A and B are shown apart, each in its own frame.
Chain A
Amino acid sequence: MLHCSKPSGPPRHLALVSYRANKRGKNRAVPESLSIIIVEQDKDRAEAIVDSILETGAHEIRVLSEPTGLARFVAEFDPDIVLVDVANPSRDTLEELALASSPLDRPVAMFVDRSDDSLTKAAIDAGVSAYVVDGLRADRIKPVMDAAIARFHVFQRMRTELEATKRALEERKIIDRAKGIVMRNRGIGEDEAYALIRKTAMDQGKKLVDVAQALVTAAELLS
C-alpha cells in the first residue's frame, strides 16, 4: 500500500501561518466552522484568500507556503478542506492522500464534491482545486468554495492584465525602435515614420508590431 510517513510533529521547515476567526476556544467544536488548509506561496494572495473565506464563517485556516512536506502536513492537521492553486505542481501530492487513509482514519480526501460537477468545473476554470473530506455536506462546502472561486477569478484577471501590460510595453519598445530606423534611413519625422509603418502593415494585412519587428530584425542583420 502507498502510505505517507507517520506524522511526528510539524516538520520544522514548514512556513506556517494560522488564522483564527475568533478567540473563543477551538473552532472545530462549532458546527459551522471548518478547518481549512490553503497552499499558497505568495503571502498577499494567501491573505486575500483567507479574508474572503473568513467572510463566509468562523473557520480555522492554515496557510502553507512551502510545498515540501505537504502530505505530512495535511495528514497531521487533518483538515476538512485543502485549497491549492491548479497551477501548483505539488497538487499531485494531494492525490496520494486519497489513498493514504486506513479504514480507521477520517474518510479520504476527495476532489471537491463528486455530486456537484458544476462547482468542480467552476473551481478548475478559476484556477483553484479543492480536496474535501468525503462526506462533508455540499451546503457546508459551497460558501467556502464560492468565496475561493471568486478570489481566484480576481487573481486570474490580475495575471491577464499584467501580461497584457507587459506585452504592450514590449510592443511599444519594438515600434519605437522601428520608428527610429525609418527616421534615420529616410530622414523623416517621427509622426511620418509611424504613419509609414502603419500604412505598410495595413497594406500587407499584418499587425503593426509584426512589421516593426521585421524592420528591427532586418536592420540588425544589415548592420
Chain B
Amino acid sequence: MRTVSLNVGFMPLVDAAPLVIARELGFAEEEGLDLSLQGAPSWSTLRDRLALGQIEAAHMLSPVPIAMALGLGGMATRFDALCVLSINGNVIGVSREMAQDLKANGARLDFLDATTTGQALSSLNKDIRIGVPFPFSMHAELLYYWLDSIGLPSPQGLDVRTIPPPLMSQAIAAGEIDAFCVGEPWGSIAVENGHGELILPGQSIWQFAPEKVLAVRHDWAEAEQDLTGRLMRAVWKAGRWLGDPTKLSTIAEVLSWPEYLGVSAEIIERALSGQMVISQRGETRRVPRMIGFFEGAASFPWKSQAAWIGNRMATRFGLDRVQAAKAASDVFRSDLYRKHLASTGAEMPGASQKVEGAISVPTPVASKAGTLILQPDRFFNGAIFDSSQTS
C-alpha cells in the first residue's frame, strides 16, 4: 500500500484525541496514511479550509455540517460526518461573581444535577451573558435545550455570544460574559486561572451527546472511497485505543505537546479521567462519561442524533422541522461507517436510528456480533426524541 499524505485540521481540544492518536500511535501509518495535522485558529477558518480543499478532513463540531446542509451560516459546501469522534466533553462554568451570587442566593448546587443548577441560575433573576465557541455547536444546543426547558424568567435576557475556546477564560476575566459552555481543557483552564468555577458538565443535560465528528467534503468521500475507508479505520482504531482506561496518562502527555494543545498534561487528564476540579479551592467532582471515545459504539453516527440536532436548529431558526431532520440525517453517514469499518470488528448496531433519551442504564442491543451494550443517553428532563415521529 502506497503511503498517502492527508491534511487534517483540528482545534486544540481534548476531543481532537482520536486524530492525534491515529497519527502518533501509528494507526494511520498502518492504513498507509501520513496524517499532517494542522491546528486551526477558529472553527470558521477550519470549516473554510475544508470547504475550499486546503485540507481533506477535519475535527468538526457535530452541528456545523448539519447547519450547512440546512443553509445556515456562510459556506454552502456539502460535508459528510463519517463518524462521531467524541461523546460529551463540555463543561458549563460561571464567573466568580456569579458563583458568589448563586451562593448568596442560597443555592445548593449538585454538580451533576442540571435541574437544580438551572433553577438556581434562573432564580437569580438576572440577564445572563453566556459564551459558546460557535453559533452552531453542541454547546449552544445544550444550553438552549437546558435553559428553555427550565424556563428563564425572561428568555430575552439570555445573551449567547461566540468566543473561541482558548479565549473563554480571558473573556470571563474581562467581564465580557457571566458564564460559558466550553470543551475541555478550556473550562479547567478558567478554573486554573482563577477566573471561573464549573457548575455543570454537559453530560448532565444529555448523557450521550455527539460532540465532534470527522468531517470531509461529500464529493471527496464519493471520489476517494479507498482513502475514506483508510482514514475511518485509522480513526476508529485510535478511538478503541483511547477507550482503554490504562492509557490516560499517555493520552494526556501526547495531547499536551505544543503542536497540539500546549496545556499541561495534568489539566488535560481531568476530563479524560472524569475527575474535575471545579473551583480554585480545589473541590473535585467525579463525572461519569465526562468524555467518551469508544464505549457503547461511541463513534457510530446515529441518524437519530443528527435528526435531533436538525430538529433543534429548525425550531430555533424557524425552518421546517421534518425537512430539517431529514436533511440532517443524510449528513451522518452510518452507511459508510458500516461499509468501511466492516473489516475492523467495530460494533454495528442492528438499526441506524434509536429513540434518543430512552436508555437510562447500560443496555444490550441487537448487533452484528451480538455484544453491543449501549450507554445511558437520557436528557435531564426525561424527554425522549423519536426521529421517526418528527412532525
- Could you list which residues of chain A lie within 8 angstroms of chain B, going by C-beta atoms? 1-5, 68-69, 71, 86-96, 98-99, 110-111, 114, 117, 120-121, 124-125, 129
Contact = CB atoms under 8 A, between A and B. Distances in A.
Given A89-B41, A91-B41, 5 more contacts: A92-B163, A93-B161, A94-B44, A110-B74, A111-B48
Contact of A68 (B73, B74, B174): B174
Nearest to B135: A96
A203 B135 CA distance: 56
Interface string B162-196: 11101100010010100000000000000000000
A96 B74 contact: no
B164 A98 contact: no
A88 B44 contact: no
Interface in B134-151: 134-135, 140
A92 B76 contact: no
Contacts of A111: 44, 48, 74-75
Contacts of B317: 1, 99
B108 to A, nearest CB: 31
B247 interface: no
Contacts of A90: 42, 164, 167
Contacts of B161: 4, 71, 93, 96
A129 B75 CA distance: 12
Interface in B29-52: 41-45, 48-49, 52
Nearest to B170: A68
A93 B174 CA distance: 16
A2 B318 CA distance: 12
Contacts of A95: 43-44, 73-74, 134-135, 162
Interface of B: 41-45, 48-49, 52, 54, 72-76, 129, 133-135, 140, 159-164, 166-167, 171, 174, 176, 316-317
A91 B44 contact: yes
10 contacts: A88-B42, A89-B41, A91-B41, A91-B44, A91-B45, A95-B73, A96-B161, A114-B76, A120-B52, A124-B54
A129 B44 contact: yes
A111 B54 CA distance: 17
B48 A89 contact: no
Contacts of B163: 92-93
B233 to A, nearest CB: 30
A95 B42 CA distance: 11
Contacts of B162: 71, 92-93, 95-96
Given A86-B45, A91-B42, A2 B74 contact: no
Contacts of A5: 129, 159
A91 B161 CA distance: 13
A1 B316 contact: yes
B135 A86 contact: no
Contacts of B164: 89-90, 92
Nearest to A85: B41
Given A4-B161, A93-B162, A96-B161, A88 B41 contact: yes
A121 B77 CA distance: 13
B42 A89 contact: yes
A92 B46 CA distance: 10
Contacts of A4: 159, 161
A102 to B, nearest CB: 12
A110 B163 CA distance: 19
A92 B176 contact: no
Contact of B45 (A68, A125, A129): A129
- Closest 8 pairs (CB-CB, A-B): A111-B74, A89-B164, A96-B162, A92-B42, A91-B42, A87-B41, A93-B162, A89-B41
B49 A89 contact: no
Contact of B41 (A86, A93, A110, A120): A86
A89 B135 contact: no
A197 to B, nearest CB: 29
Nearest to B54: A124
Given A111-B48, A111-B75, A129-B44, A99 B135 contact: yes
Contacts of B54: 124-125
A69 B176 contact: yes
B52 A124 contact: yes
Nearest to A131: B74
B75 A92 contact: no
A96 B163 CA distance: 10
Contacts of A71: 161-162
Residue in A69, A111, A120 whose Cβ sees the most chain B Cβ within 10 Å: A111
B174 A121 contact: no
B23 to A, nearest CB: 22
B195 to A, nearest CB: 15
Given A68-B176, A96-B161, A129-B45, A89 B167 contact: yes
A1 B140 CA distance: 11
Contacts of A94: 44
A164 to B, nearest CB: 19
A181 to B, nearest CB: 28
A199 B167 CA distance: 49
